[in-house]
Chains A and B, each alone.
Chain A
Amino acid sequence: MVSLPWQAGLAMLADTSAPAHLELGGVALIDGGVLFCVLVALGQAWRMVGVLGGRPSLGHAAFFGVGACGTSLLLARAGVSPWIGLWLAAGVAALVGAGVGLVTARLRAPAFALCTLIVAELLRNAASFGPGPGLAGGAEGLSLRTAPPLELFWLVAVPAERAVPGAALALAVGAIALTRAVAQGRLGLGLAALADDVEAARAVGISPARYHGAALALSAAVAGLAGGLHALHTGSATPGTAFGLATVSLPAALACLLGGGTSAGPAGPILGALILAPLHTALTAPRTLLQLGLLSPGAPALALLERHGGSLVPVLDGLLLVAVVLFLPQGLASLPGRLRRRQEPTAAPAA
């Protein structure tokens, strides 16, 4: 993929005197950058449950959606600044995660995955058509367009346009650090033990409820923050997309699996997001390709993408997911190793 946007993006953030928008690609590139950070954070959160915990989740949209719709609800109905609402909503998401973790602690991977899927669908339906005139704004969702500036230490007011991408980057970095800490700490060891042999782990005193509950709570908090920030950036939170399997849950899993598969490396979700974010941005905002000079204005491909790109995103994600499970369960990161092994002369056969 083109390296220019990321270098330029980093330069933009570092240079505080530059205008909030890049001359080059403008808003679309920032969208891509924020999407990248959100995917990294989501992927890391998913990794905590799906890789470290050994049980893939199909319902991370539940936590993402709570973050997104919670933040927008707090702003629209209670006037709470989204910079505070973000944390509150993430807290609620953590509670939901803890609840799901506790209730499903004894389940094995397939049943767990299905339960997470159902929980996300339940929340999606409840939020779309909740009691009264739509708890979360009904099917159209709530608008966050009037996002106030972020006030740092009551001194500096960073305009939202600059603060949100910065916050997204901070979230991504934080998610990487947190997941790494979990993996290397006691929680990660306990999860690994549970993934290996539940009965033996319980015999040693590792409680599935405690460990899975904690992992899911942390994972949900990160996913909730990601959802809230994403809603802040796009300006609205629609329950249909915030809680969606196709829009959030599976891309989260894909970001992690595409990069590193089921092995535990922290770089997995980063690699996966690095591939997914540009692809998604190209399909949903084909203008970016125009501005990067990859397509000429009259190209038929541009018109095609503008009309149908949105519908193609889930098709792409789905195909990638199927391909990863069938051919690359260890993710793209395992490719170099596999190619190397192919080229080495075969070892002597075992006796």
Chain B
Amino acid sequence: MSAFVESVLRGLLAGGPYALVGVGFALTYGVTGVVQLAHGELVTLGAFTAALLLSLLHLDPLLSALAAAPSLFVVGALVHRLALRRLPRARPELALLATGGLALVVAGLTALARDLGAPAPGRSPTSLELLGTGIPRPLAVGFAAALLIAGAVHLFLRRTDLGRAVRATAQDAEAAQLLGVDVQLTATVAVGLAAALAGTAGALLAGTHVVTPASGMGFTARALAVLLLARPGSVPGGVVAGLAVGLLEGVASGLAPETAAGEVAVLALVLSLLLLRPARVAAEA
């Protein structure tokens, strides 16, 4: 398999976890109206949490990825309770500044934890290649896990009462409240879920990607791309968008290996989308 095809495949497979990050990001935006710039930091936090669990409990990397989810859920719920729901909905640009500040806090604390001895997310030792294709097994496993989780989220949103409440809150919070939905609680649950998704994605990616405290903004950019590409509220759309972003990254870095071409391509995509459909990030209060 040529290096280019391998790069494209790797990008595509990374798109699975990217989809999870994006779906969570869109979910947060839907229920709070805030573009959560710290979302990418939650991905990083998830990777570090899983690394901690791995070193403490010696779980299988996949299990520690799932085990990290509950703590990320709590982090997300706290972020919503303490900060997100108090942000001015009438001034979304100020809310952006605040979530930017939040990103700094999370990134800084993660860096501090690492300096104080927390284990850094390392490449998974089980680098068994898949069918001799040069694709590391953790990447393929992460891809499959991500798709399964996305499917579960889709079913949750469609078939359960809480899921329906989340969708209602995202569509029209006032109307939902009038119909008896506890909007604040629902939003907290949704943001917690989004954080759990982000954290799990981070843990899944850590097996094959280098994740450092500075990786957050890159993940936020991918999440933004998914938000701008996919139809609002659609999980399958989010999955397709995530795969597309991964594919773009894979193609770009395949064409120009050893550079930041993949990152630049994703950023260029986000910029173009922002210029083409700015209304997607301007939720009317």
Contacts and interface: CB of A to CB of B under 8 A. Distances in A.
Contacts of A115: 271, 274-275
Contacts of A308: 112, 115-116
Nearest to A320: B101
A114 B103 contact: no
Contacts of A117: 37, 100
A8 interface: no
Interface residues of A, number: 47
A118 B221 contact: yes
Of listed B87, B98, B100, B109, residue having the most chain A CB within 10 A: B100
A320 B102 CA distance: 10
Contacts of A103: 275
A166 interface: no
What bracket does the count of chain B residues touching chain A fall in? 35 or more
Contacts of B263: 125
A26 B35 CA distance: 44
Interface stretch (B46-54, B88-96, B185-193): B88-96
- Dominant secondary structure of chain A at its interface with chain B: helix
Given A108-B278, A311-B111, A325-B87, A246 B97 contact: no
B40 to A, nearest CB: 11
A181 to B, nearest CB: 25
B268 to A, nearest CB: 7
Given A110-B92, A122-B264, A311-B112, A56 B97 contact: yes
Contacts of A56: 93-94, 96-97
Main secondary structure of the interface of B (DSSP, over half): helix
A331 to B, nearest CB: 12
Interface centre among A110, A125, A250, A317 (most CB of B within 10 A): A110
A294 interface: no
Contacts of A318: 100-106, 108
A315 B104 CA distance: 6
Nearest to B224: A114
A112 B93 CA distance: 9
B267 interface: yes
A154 B102 CA distance: 50
B281 interface: yes
Contacts of A122: 264, 267-268, 271
A107 interface: yes
Contact of B275 (A55, A104, A321): A104
B235 interface: no
Interface stretch (A86-94, A126-134, A143-151, A332-340): A126-134
A110 B274 CA distance: 10
Contacts of B275: 103-104, 107, 115
Interface in B94-137: 94-98, 100-109, 111-112, 115-116
Contact of A315 (B86, B108, B274): B108
A58 B96 contact: yes
Contacts of A111: 274, 278, 281-282
A5 interface: no
Interface string B246-285: 0000000000000110011001101100110010011000
Contacts of B155: none
Contacts of A9: none
A246 B267 contact: no
B89 to A, nearest CB: 11
B109 A315 contact: yes
B12 interface: no
Nearest to B94: A325
A109 B92 contact: yes
A325 B270 CA distance: 26
A113 interface: yes
Nearest to B103: A318
A329 interface: yes
Contact of A121 (B102, B111, B221, B259): B221
A314 interface: yes
A299 interface: no
B96 A326 contact: no
Nearest to B258: A129
A177 to B, nearest CB: 26
Given A103-B275, A110-B92, A118-B270, A312 B112 contact: yes
Interface string A245-279: 11000100110010000100000000000000000
A315 B278 contact: no
Interface string A300-328: 00000001100111110111111001100
B101 A322 contact: yes
A103 B276 CA distance: 11
A253 B94 CA distance: 11
A111 B101 CA distance: 18
Interface in B207-253: 217, 221, 224
A72 to B, nearest CB: 20
A129 B260 contact: yes
B5 interface: no
Given A110-B35, A254-B101, A318-B102, 10 more contacts: A56-B97, A108-B278, A111-B274, A111-B278, A111-B282, A114-B96, A122-B268, A308-B112, A321-B97, A321-B104
Interface of B: 35, 37, 83, 86-88, 91-98, 100-109, 111-112, 115-116, 217, 221, 224, 259-260, 263-264, 267-268, 270-271, 274-275, 278, 281-282
Interface of A: 55-56, 58, 103-104, 107-115, 117-119, 121-122, 125-126, 128-129, 131, 245-246, 250, 253-254, 257, 262, 307-308, 311-315, 317-322, 325-326, 329
14 contacts: A109-B91, A112-B93, A114-B270, A118-B271, A119-B271, A122-B268, A126-B264, A246-B103, A250-B97, A311-B111, A314-B105, A315-B104, A318-B102, A318-B108
> A-B pairs with the 3 shortest C-beta distances?
A321-B101, A318-B104, A111-B278
